[in-house]
Structure formats: C-alpha cells, structure tokens
Amino acid sequence: MAGITILDVARAAGVSTSTVSNLLNGRTGRMLPETRERVESTIRDLGYRPNRAARQLRTGKPQVIGLVVPSVGNPYWGALARYLEAAALTEGYHVLLCNSERDPARERQYVDELVSDGIRGIVLCSSLPSLEHVSGLIEDGLRLVAFDRTAQADDPVGLVNVSVDNTIGAELMGEHLVSLGHRRIAFVSGAIRSVNRTERFAGFLRALERAGIARPDVVTWPGSSSADGTFGDVEAAELGRVAATELLTGPNPPSAIFAVNDMTAIGVCRAVRDAGMEVGREVSVAGFDDIVLAELYSPRLTTVRQPMKEMAAAAFRALHAPADGQPTSQATSLLFRPELVVRDSTAAPVA
C-alpha cells in the first residue's frame, strides 16, 4: 500500500531528496554514476513509486490525458479508447474516460472540468463542426487533439487534427464499386453536415465522375439527433435500414449502396435481406471504418479501414510532444492512409 516516499529513499540511499528527485526527472548529469546507481537500486529495493498527486500539485501537470468520446459503448470509439490507452501506457500516462453522449453541453463541460483538474492534454471526439469554444483553452496551454476530424478554416491555432483521409478512402471505395461493374450506386448517410461525412461524399463523387458516371442517387436522413439514451449505433443502423428500403423499393434501384459508416451499412444489409435479396449478390453493400463487427458480420463487410492503432498512437504523441516548439504553431492535420478492405458484401452486379 505504498506509503513509501522520496524521503525514505533519500535516507536509505544516504542522499538528499533533491538528488532522488533529480534522478527521477532525468537530471542525471548532476551526480556521480556511482551515486546514481545506488539511488536507483534503493528505489527498486524499496519498491518506491512517486506519488502522482504530490507531483501534480507541484508541477501542475498530471500524468493523465482526457479522452472525450460520444460513447465507448460504440465499438469504433471503444477501439480508439483501447489503443489510446495502450499508447499512453508506454509513457506512464493514464486515460480518463468521458462519454459526451453526443451532448454538446456535456462535451464542453467535460473539457472545462478536465482542464480545471489540471489536465493538459485531451483527445476530443467532437460532434460539433466548430471547435472555436476551446480556442481560449488552447491559448492557455491546453494540448487538444481533435480525432476523426480534419482541419477547418476557422480552427483554433494550436489544434491538432487526427483523421483518416476520408476523401481518398471514399474514392477508393467508389473505384472498387465501379471496377466491379456497378453503374448505379447510392450513397447513404445521415445529414451531410459533419466534416467527415462531407469528405466521404466528395471522395465518392470524385471516383464516379472520373469513371464518367452520372451523379448517383443520394439518400440522406435528417437523423433524429442526440442523446436519447440509446447507443446512437442502433440509430445509425436504423437510418441505413430505412434509407435502403426506400431506395430498393423505389424506381430504378441501385445495384450497390455505399454507406457512410459500418453501422449504417449493417442497417442497409438488413433492409436488403428484408427485401428478399442477398447482400453480395443482388445488391452490393459497402461501409466505412472497419469496426470489429465488419469482419464478424454476415456477410463479411467490404469497407475502408482506418489504421486505428497508428492514429491513436499519433494522437497521444501530439499531446505528449514536448512544448519546446513554438507554442503557437500552425494548426495541423495528421491524415492517415485509408485501406480498402474487400470482403463478401460486394461483388459484380448480377444483371
């Protein structure tokens, strides 16, 4: 149960607490190698671990980063949380988990709370298009990474965005569908308002235009917003189901449907089956994200993979990087390369 302090170590090693502190903080040049080794072995023998609270009180910088996600119940965010925690662990950092439930007020409150708890690094997965409300905090020294979002014109200076290249990812999927022989392809999404949806749609259009294909059917959905206590995943799936039903029963149905994310794609698959057709034969369905479910679903979902592990690691590095660069650097985007993952839900059109 610990209780063993830096003073105990200092006494046992026959040095002052300052020397132990110096060693702990990398100022090893200030002592004889022999002293250093003696202190190090004392630390090991005693099983000493510095008290984080005391350290934070003194330095103002806790060894903790904040993660604000809509809901870790969603496997996409769950995966981020998992990898981010793993990355943080390598540097001795811990992750404080916050679920905003897609409530902007709650999201803001969490950020404020984390900041006033002294936390200096936050990964924010915001549902808000603008992040202006945090610019003050960033100016005051907060390191803020916006995840799953690319840079915008009005971004606060100092913000770092980490995201997959949505445009290219969607373009890859567009090309894939075209190359399979599909000519009539629909895009299903909630309201195309958020940054990444816009980009995915744009990339998709680009691929089709290059192939000389007419502007596709586009079905979007207002998306009954926000925190009603459900996962929001179910909502996304329901959106896909409703939209696809409409498309398939309408005139001139598409032979392929590209959903804005995997959850929506799963809803689309349901609708296809409900309409008496088989996914991957009569109708091709594609998603985006490559969440765990994509591989487990039946049929296995063709999708665009986000390199989550690398993205999470990069997000942590951006928070943790020493602040020795110019404090007000350019707002940056870290874009990651998406990867097309072809599975069983897409195939050449039958007719």
Partner DNA sequence: CGACTCCGGTGTAACGATGCACCGACCATA
Partner DNA sequence: TATGGTCGGTGCATCGTTACACCGGAGTCG
Other C-beta atoms closer than 10 Å to the C-beta of 281 total 15
CB of 281 to its own copies, least distance (A): 13
CB of 54 to its own copies, least distance (A): 5
Q: Which is nearer to DNA, 17 or 245 (CB)?
A: 17
Binding partner selected for residue 94 from its own copies, DNA, none, CB under the kind-specific 5 to 8 Å limit? its own copies
**CA end-to-end span of the chain:** 71
Choices 45-53, 151-159, 201-209, 281-289; region in contact with its own copies by CB under 8 A: 45-53
Using rule CB under 7 A, residue 25 touches DNA: yes
Using rule CB under 7 A, residue 29 touches DNA: yes
Asked if 67 contacts 319 with a C-beta cutoff of 8 angstroms, the reply is no
Binding partner selected for residue 298 from its own copies, DNA, none, CB under the kind-specific 5 to 8 Å limit? its own copies
Question: Which residue is it, tokens 């680009």?
Answer: 206
CB of 67 to DNA, least distance (A): 24
Please report, as residue ranges, which positions from 41 to 100 form the binding site for DNA (by CB under 7 A).
Answer: 48, 50-51, 54-55, 57-59
CB of 42 to DNA, least distance (A): 12
Q: Which of 5, 152, 198, 245 forms a contact with DNA (CB under 7 A)?
A: 5
Pattern 114-133, its own copies, x by CB under 8 A: -xxxx---------------
- For DNA, how many residues bind (rule: CB under 7 A)? 28
How many whole angstroms separate alpha carbon 70 and alpha carbon 54?
32
Q: Which two tokens stand for residue 212?
A: 């000389």
Please report, as residue ranges, which positions from 182 to 221 form the binding site for its own copies (by CB under 8 A).
Answer: none
Other C-beta atoms closer than 10 Å to the C-beta of 184 total 14
Q: Which is nearer to its own copies, 71 or 167 (CB)?
A: 71
Pattern 255-294, its own copies, x by CB under 8 A: --------x--xx-xx--x------------------xx-
CB of 59 to its own copies, least distance (A): 9
CB of 322 to DNA, least distance (A): 13
CB of 345 to its own copies, least distance (A): 11
SS3 labels along the chain: CCCCCHHHHHHHHCCCHHHHHHHHCCCHHHCCHHHHHHHHHHHHHHCCCCCHHHHHHHHCCCCEEEEEECCCCCHHHHHHHHHHHHHHHCCCCEEEEEECCCCHHHHHHHHHHHHHCCCCEEEECCCCCCCHHHHHHHHCCCEEEEECCCCCCCCCCCCEEEEECHHHHHHHHHHHHHHHCCCCEEEEEECCCCHHHHHHHHHHHHHHHHCCCCCCEEEEECCCCCCCCCCCHHHHHHHHHHHHHHHHHCCCCCCEEEECCHHHHHHHHHHHHHCCCCECCCEEEECCECCHHHHHCCCCCEEEECCHHHHHHHHHHHHHCCCCCCCCCCCEEEEECCEEECCCCCCCCCC
Pattern 52-91, its own copies, x by CB under 8 A: xxx-xx----x-x--x---xxxxx-xxx-xxx-xx-----
Of the candidates 233, 204, 223, which has an alpha carbon nearest to the alpha carbon of residue 76? Answer: 233
Using rule CB under 7 A, residue 215 touches DNA: no
Site residues, its own copies (CB under 8 A) = 1-2, 49, 51-54, 56-57, 62, 64, 67, 71-75, 77-79, 81-83, 85-86, 94-99, 113, 115-118, 137, 140-141, 231, 233-234, 237, 263, 266-267, 269-270, 273, 292-293, 295-298
Site residues, DNA (CB under 7 A) = 3, 5-7, 14-19, 21-22, 24-25, 29-32, 34-35, 48, 50-51, 54-55, 57-59
